[in-house]
Structure 1
Amino acid sequence: MSTPSSTSGRERAADAVLRIGALVPLTRPGWAEAGRHLLAGLELAVRDVNGAGGIAGRPLELVVRDTAADPLRAAAAVDELARLGVAAVAGEYHSVVARAAAGRADALGLPFLCSSAVLDALTEHPTEWVARLPAPQSRGWRTYADFLFGAGHRRIAVAADASVYWASGARILRDRLTPRGGTVVEHDMGALTPTALCDELVGDGATALLLLVGHPEPAVPIVQAVRRDQRLAELMIGAPAGQPEFTEWAALLGDDGAGIPFLRYLPERLGPLGVRVERDLRERLAEAPSFVAFEGYDTITVLADVLRTHGAERARTAVAWPHVAVEGTRGQIRFSRAPGISVWQWAEAPVQVVDRDPARPDRLRVLHTG
């Protein structure tokens, strides 16, 4: 009887594991805190799946790649993960990076479940290979525009960096507000310092300033400059992209970071699964989990359900998206085709406008739901 070689033994051990590629921004210029929360959710869900017996006895394993907010790096990571034989790719927070990853996954025939990026045009054409958990930017930012209008803001100033994502957000706001008599005035932060922006705002007549810029630079210096300018004492600051969600925001800005409404993707109340996961995430992160951590957990929950039900063959996963019906931390997750969206979309993903309570900046207040 022949003795199996150590190489073949390793191959069988590898076959026993189901690998999922995870794209996360863990280093600058990526939003590393968001990446840390996303990875915590992914890892916790993998732990729970494996603790319950894995997928037909096969454990899940994450193969993590740091995108550092670099689209080219993300696309290269998708190529590498495909060669490594992952069953699917998951994750990513930055929309422009997720778009690069989704396009490459589509070209390779590799299933990609986008955890946290919202840009509507995630792929250039409709695809069966990509699905997304968060609400698309058009829905979330329309909700934010409705909040602004309901709060009496008709003239909105926007401090914007150059980016497809920021340009798309400004367009959504303008399209939603202009027919109702609103005005959106853009300020190019590539050409202005925070102090110069304040001077521009004084003559604007705007009642709200939205931060369509990166974090911490230049978002934090802009907030500090506006808060210290007595001419702008009545100006509301908003951050629809969610910068104030994370503890770094509060640590850098203190009380100045409160009262700045932002978008968050959580329901009004968590169900039993969400409550348990929130507790476990808090222990893992040593701080309150952001909505991004819940998105990470739900990503693995969906993929585990697909792999159990349809098997690990990539083509089977691609046709499984419309058949998903799984309870996540934030509600039941189902995918459908939404108008103008090129990927399978969780249409009922929760959307809130919240801020940090000025009386208690560690507490978040829900201001509007959509």
Structure 2
Amino acid sequence: MSTPSKPSGAVRAGGPSVRIGALVPLTRPGWAEAGAHLLAGLELAVRDVNDAGGIGGTPLDLVVRDTAADPRRAEAAVDDLAALGVAALAGEYHSVVARAAAARAAALGLPFLCSSAVLDALTDRPAEGVARIAPAQSHGWRIYGDFLLGAGHRHIAVAADASVYWAAGTGILRERLAPHGGTVTALDMPALGPSGVCDALAGHRATALLVLTGYPEPAVPLVRAVRRDPRLAGLLVGAPAGQPEFAGWAASLGADGAGVPFLRYLPEHPGPLGVRVGAALRERLAEEPSFVAFEGYDTVTVLAGALRAHGTDRAAIAASWGRAGAEGTRGPVRFSRTPGSGVWQWAWAPVQVADRDPADPARFRVLRTG
């Protein structure tokens, strides 16, 4: 589907538009709630760009494709959008899907600014035309590991699904904790199920369990089972991938979902742009915007600058990431090459470890920043 923004009086109406392709998970098995926030940020930024005159007076148009967390579907969407003549690609939330999209975009010479996927190895080899707004997984998860150590947790269990993303996260945490005498024990979530995980934890010395699983299933029943098992009283439950930030988590788990530390990529004190965009996103979403919505907004803001500088010349946009940038909702966005990543990376978006306050699950507490 295409979601053109309504041109303002400063934009030439009725003529051709400059088009950006957007990859977003909007249906299951994708995380549709995160996809809705990502799309809200992308769409709001397109509206703001057009209200400010578009791209040299030409309206900016967002052409959206639902990836549904399917790498093959994402590849087909990249082909489709390239054939439609989009100048660049934006978006995607799921890391494995973003990897497939990035590889296909690189093969086609189509610039891709990834909004939210964090897997360090977003491409198998250096890709000049691929850049990323979201911080690499190793950056955020190391900060999460430091939070665990600072809170006195040396022995961690992870209930993990089979995924390159979850396996990478487990490895990052193990590497961070090991020099401090820490251990990370992986529990096979698909084999054990919620009750089996509880049984395994009851005889284990772990003081924290990290939920590295799909959401809402099996994450929600796992958290509920752990919270209600008297053998596990006092066990910290964490979800570094950020699930507790979303309203669906609170609606599903209520008080059981509070006090679950997670990662999010927001400043503790937003500037004027962040405050203005946050208010507009809140109105658009009818709920508190997540960091994913701000990632979407910043993505289009950066792309608009590249389009103003280079028009729809894909090769020029792809070659410009080292010079590209913009004032984003969470600080100035600039790109560089970082070790272990083959893409241009904003190093770094602000990082928080936060949770929902057990005394008021609608309120967030910031537990650590990085």
Local SS of the residue matching 1:16: coil
* 1:244-301 Cα shifts (integer Å, max 9, x gaps): 0100000000000000000000011111111000000001001110100000000000
> Which residue number corresponds to residue 4 of structure 1?
none
1:287-330 C-alpha deviation (Å, 9 max, x unpaired):
11010000000000000011112222000101111112310000
What are the residue-to-residue correspondences of 1:75-224 with 2, within 5 Å? 75-224=75-224
- Measured in 2, the distance between the counterparts of 1:217 and 1:173 equals 23
Q: What TM-score does the superposition give when structure 2 sets the normalisation length?
A: 0.96
Are residues 1:361 and 2:361 paired?
Answer: yes
Measured in 1, the distance between the counterparts of 2:171 and 2:217 equals: 23
Look up the SS of the partner of 2:353 in the other structure. strand
Q: For residues 1-370 of structure 1, what are the structure 2 equivalents within 5 Å?
A: 16-370=16-370
AA of the residue aligned to 1:41: G
- Amino acid in structure 2 at the alignment position of 1:170: T
3-state SS in 1 of match to 2:172: helix
CA distance in 1, matches of 2:343, 2:15: 30
**Separation of aligned partners in 1, 2:241 and 2:43:** 25
Shift in alpha-carbon separation, 1:57–1:190, aligned structure 2, 3 A: same
Deviation at 1:111, TM superposition (A): 0.3
Opposite residue 183 of structure 2, the aligned amino acid is T
Letter in 1 for 2:56: A
Letter in 1 for 2:320: A
Provide Cα deviations, 1:139-167, integer angstroms capped at 9, x if missing partner.
00001001001100010000000001000
Q: Quote how far apart the aligned CAs of 1:21 are.
A: 0.4
Separation (CA, whole Å) in 2 of partners of 1:273 and 1:119: 28
Distance across 1 between alignment mates of 2:132 and 2:14? 28
Aligned partner of 2:95: which letter?
S
TM-score by length of 1: 0.96
Q: How many residues align?
A: 359
- Residue type matched to 2:330 in 1? R
The aligned counterpart of 1:3 is none
What SS does the corresponding residue of 1:22 show, helix, strand or coil?
strand
- Specify the code of the residue in structure 2 equivalent to 1:25: P
Partner amino acid for 2:284? R
Instruction: Give the secondary-structure state (helix, strand or coil) at the position aligned to 2:267.
Output: coil
Shift of 1:14: 9.1
* Cα distance in 1, alignment partners of residues 325 and 135 from structure 2: 17
Shift of 1:15: 7.1
Residues 328-351 of structure 1 show CA distances to partners (whole Å, capped at 9, x for unaligned) of 000000000001111000002111
2:98 corresponds to which letter in structure 1? A
- Give, in whole Å, the separation in 1 of the partners of 2:352 and 2:100: 27
Aligned-pair distance for 1:218?
Answer: 0.5
- Give 1:366 deviation, angstroms: 0.5
Structure 2 letter corresponding to 1:66? D
CA change 1:345–1:252 in 2 (3 A) is same
- 1:35-79 CA-to-partner distances (Å, cap 9, x unmatched) read 000000000000010111100011010110000000110011001
Taking the aligned partners of 2:292 and 2:326, their CA distance within structure 1 comes to: 19
State the one-letter code of the partner of 1:248: G
CA distance in 2, matches of 1:139, 1:99: 18
- Alpha-carbon distance in 2 for matches of 1:219, 1:325: 37
Residues in 2 aligned to 1:366 and 1:188: alpha-carbon distance in whole angstroms: 30
Aligned residue for 1:244, secondary structure, equals helix
What residue in structure 1 maps to residue 3 of structure 2?
A: none
Q: Tell me how far 1:204 sits from its aligned partner.
A: 1.1
Alignment partners' CA distance in 1, 2:189 and 2:219: 10
How far the C-alpha of 1:16 sits from its partner, in A, is 2.2
Secondary structure at the aligned position of 2:337 is classed as coil
Q: Percent identity?
A: 74
Greater CA radius of gyration, 1 or 2? 1
Alpha-carbon displacement from aligned partner over 1:168-206 (angstroms, at most 9, x marks no partner): 000111111112210000001110120111010011110
